[in-house]
Amino acid sequence: MSKKLLLITLIAISSIYSNAQVAATIDFGQVKQIIDGFGVSTAWHGTISEKEADIAFGNSTSEQLGLNILRVRIDPSSSNWVTEKMNAAKAKSRGALILATPWTPPAYMKTNNNAVGGELLPTQYVAYAEHLKDFCKYLGNVDVVSLQNEPNITVGYESCTWSAAQMLEFCKTNAPAIGKPVMAPEAYNFAYSTSDPILNDPIACANIQYVGGHLYGTTTRSYPLAVTKGKKLWMTEFAYNPDSIGTCMTMAKDILDCLNGNMNAFVYWYLRQPGCNIINTDGTLKLKGYTLAQFSKFIRPGYYRVSATYQPNSKIYLVAFKGSTQDVLVAVNQNTVAKTQVYNFKNMNIMSASKFVTSDTKRLTNTETITATNNSFTDNLDARSITTYVIKRTPSAINETPVADINIFPNPAEDFIQLSTTDNVKSVNIFNLQGQKIQIFNNLVIPTLDISSLQCGTYVIQVSLINGAEKRMKFFKK
């Protein structure tokens, strides 16, 4: 062989190896965090229409987002609460959770007697807790209440500044008086310096159930301290512009990063307001709306993230989730050309996958159903695209009940709580936080459990399966 031919051959071999795609491994035996869902805010929107509520929280057509969290604004004046009450009612009737967030306490409670800036007077802590409680009582359907939007920055619009020490003191002393599960601190740039003191204080930590934060001014990262303390992690505000495929590639990657970083929920900023919005005034979805829908329509509340190769190849990222009867895989290809990706599955028998794509030319398009062979399939990812695979298991896998697939909802609950399935469930026990067994359910026929006799507080539910497996979950009784 001549030197020239040898060089050409080596270059060709090198090219083959450099373009070879690494397979992604999805392991359903390694279960991560539970998913609470995806949402949007109606702060300063005015009243949303029934059509807009259907688009946001419906999930029966490709033009509906399938969201299940609504973030409403707590106006400092109780005379202005009616608008968000109507918005919350529309969302709640379509199955959504309600997160209530204040941008400021009433001006008279603050050091500067103004809705902009200033701090909450220590002498008004009790009154402020009552103010938040009154809002929740007026709406009647709030699931989570935040103490303050972005307490760690100074801005020229409705706001209030809290130091970490002030937030800690309020959580220790006043948070329980609100009577709802509490989120703190919804920090700008998800600043851990604002929430670490709360999590490291046993009393304050016990008084909050959620840690919220925003992605402005930061990059998404995991928060091990919050996870080890058993707190739900919600990203509660971020926005993207313009409405282009380049923007959507960034947006999709951020959502993936949040989910891969053990977050339980992702809440977008505006639904319909001009700028940053995901739907138009005529109700049609923007490209950003379709991007969010690639996640929210398919990854449903109560699903669990499972282990998956996060970046199997250059500019390709993916996350995977286990549901009760089906599973979901979302892949983002940021490359400007199409790429081939191999998916190998472990600890679950895979039969096929329905494929949905959003790209520069496609809008949540159901392109094909892919048949799996030996628990694996290969697919082509469109250039700059988000691809969601809805995975169908083999019948034998569907008839099994993995312990990770047993979920409860709603959480928080009032008089009743429901299991996601009663298949293979032997018994259900409820314990208080002192470990005392206070309720027993045997021979379940329906998945609904009557908990009306429980007092308000946090409990542990233990679900025992016929095969001897058990699962324990915390829930909050309102």
Give the domain CATH number at 446.
Answer: 2.60.40.1270
Is residue 125 included in any domain, yes or no?
Answer: yes
Q: Which residue shows structure tokens 């926005």?
A: 239
188 backbone dihedrals φ, ψ, rounded to 5°: -60, 140
The SS3 of residue 77 is coil
Assess whether 47 and 80 both reside in one domain.
Answer: yes
Convert the pLDDT of each residue in 237-248 to its tens digit. Answer: 999 999 999 999
Rounded to a whole number of angstroms, the CA Rg of the chain reads: 24
- Choose the final residue of a domain: 275, 300, 325: 300
pLDDT at 274: 86
Q: What is the DSSP-derived secondary structure letter of residue 450?
A: E
Q: Cβ distance 295 to 38 under 8 Å? A: yes
Q: What is the pLDDT of residue 173?
A: 98
Are 96 and 153 in the same domain?
yes
Looking at the fold, whether 223 and 83 belong to one and the same domain comes out as yes
Cα separation, 258 vs 427, whole angstroms: 35
- Residues catalogued as catalytic: 150, 237
Residue 226: inside a domain: yes
pLDDT of 448 strictly over 80: no
Q: Which of 396, 331, 394 shows the shortest CA–CA distance to 357?
A: 331
pLDDT tier, 441 (very low <50, low <70, confident <90, very high otherwise): confident
**For 47, how many CA atoms within 13 A lie in the half-sphere containing its CB?**
10
Distance, CA of 401 to CA of 447 (rounded, Å): 14
Which residues on adjacent β-strands are paired with residue 369?
Answer: 354
Expressed as residue numbers, the domain containing 391 is 20-30+305-398
Pinpoint the alpha helices (H) of 209-366. Answer: 224-228, 245-260, 287-296
With 90 as the cut, is the pLDDT of residue 373 above it?
Answer: yes
The mean pLDDT value of the chain amounts to 91
Percent of residues, the chain, with pLDDT higher than 90:
76
**DSSP calls for 245-266:** HHHHHHHHHHHHHHHHTT-SEE
Contacts for 459 with CB less than 8 Å, ≥ 6 apart = 430, 431, 432, 433, 438, 474, 475, 476, 477
Q: Are 312 and 21 in contact (CB under 8 A)?
A: yes
Of 239, 271, 300, the position where a domain reaches its end is: 300
Mean pLDDT of 474-478: 86
User: What is the percentage of the chain residues whose pLDDT exceeds 70?
Assistant: 93
Which residues on neighbouring strands pair with residue 368, listed in sequence order?
A: 355
Q: What pLDDT is recorded for position 147?
A: 98
Quick one: pLDDT at residue 1? 53
Domain contains 1? no
CATH code assigned at 332: 2.60.40.1180
Please count the structural domains in the chain.
3
Greater pLDDT, 423 or 412? 412
Give mean pLDDT, residues 89-95. 95
Q: Supply the CATH number for residue 114's domain.
A: 3.20.20.80
Residue 104 within any structural domain of the chain: yes
Residue 8 has pLDDT above 60, yes or no: no
Residue 5 in domain: no
| Matching residue, tokens 């409403």 | 72
pLDDT: which is higher, 445 or 307:
307
Question: Which is nearest to 289 in space by CA: 268, 266, 274?
Answer: 268
DSSP 3-state percent helix, strand, coil across the chain (nearest 5) = 25, 35, 40
First to last CA, the chain: 80
Task: Report which listed range, 20-29, 400-409, 465-474, is most confident.
Answer: 20-29
Which position has the higher pLDDT, 421 or 207?
207
Let me know whether 387 and 412 are in one domain. Answer: no
Is the bond preceding 412 in cis, omega lying within 30 degrees of 0?
yes
Of the residues 269, 300, 331, the one at which a domain ends: 300
Model confidence at 15, pLDDT cuts 50, 70, 90, reads very low
Residues found in the chain: 478
346, burial (CB in 10 Å: exposed 0-12, middle 13-18, buried 19+): middle
The Cα–Cα gap between 299 and 321 comes to: 7
**Residue 170 sits in the same domain as residue 206:** yes
Domain match, 332 and 296 both:
no
Domain assignment of residue 8, yes or no: no
Amino acid at 240: Y
List 476's β-bridge partners, or say none.
458
| 10 has pLDDT over 80 | no
Q: Which helix (H) or strand (E) holds 472?
A: strand 470-477
Is residue 346 in a domain?
yes
Q: What is the pLDDT of residue 16?
A: 42
Mean pLDDT of 266-280: 95
Check: CB of residue 309 under 8 Å from CB of residue 21: no
**If pLDDT is split at 50, 70 and 90, which confidence band does 423 have?**
confident
In this model, does residue 5 exceed pLDDT 80? no
Q: What tokens were used for 15? A: 């090219």
Whether residue 10 is contained in a domain is answered as no
Question: Would you place residue 410 in the very low, low, confident or very high pLDDT band (cuts 50, 70, 90)?
Answer: confident
Give yes or no: residues 62 and 189 share one domain.
yes
Number of H helices, E strands in the chain: 11, 24
Residue carrying the six token digits 């929740």 = 136
Q: Are 292 and 285 in contact (CB under 8 A)?
A: no
Q: What tens digit of pLDDT does each residue of 288-301 get?
A: 999 999 999 999 99
**429 and 319 within one domain:** no
**Predicted local distance difference test score (pLDDT) of residue 402:** 67
Q: Categorize the per-residue pLDDT at 398 as very low, low, confident or very high, splitting at 50, 70 and 90.
A: very low
Q: Is the domain of 129 the same as that of 253?
A: yes
Identify the weakest region by mean pLDDT among 353-357, 402-406, 428-432: 402-406
Indicate if the pLDDT at residue 209 is higher than 70.
yes
277 & 366 share domain: no
Task: Say if residue 259 is in the same domain as residue 323.
Answer: no
pLDDT of residue 470: 82
Pair (296, 309) in one structural domain: no
CA distance 34 to 46: 32
Query: What pLDDT sits at residue 436?
Result: 79
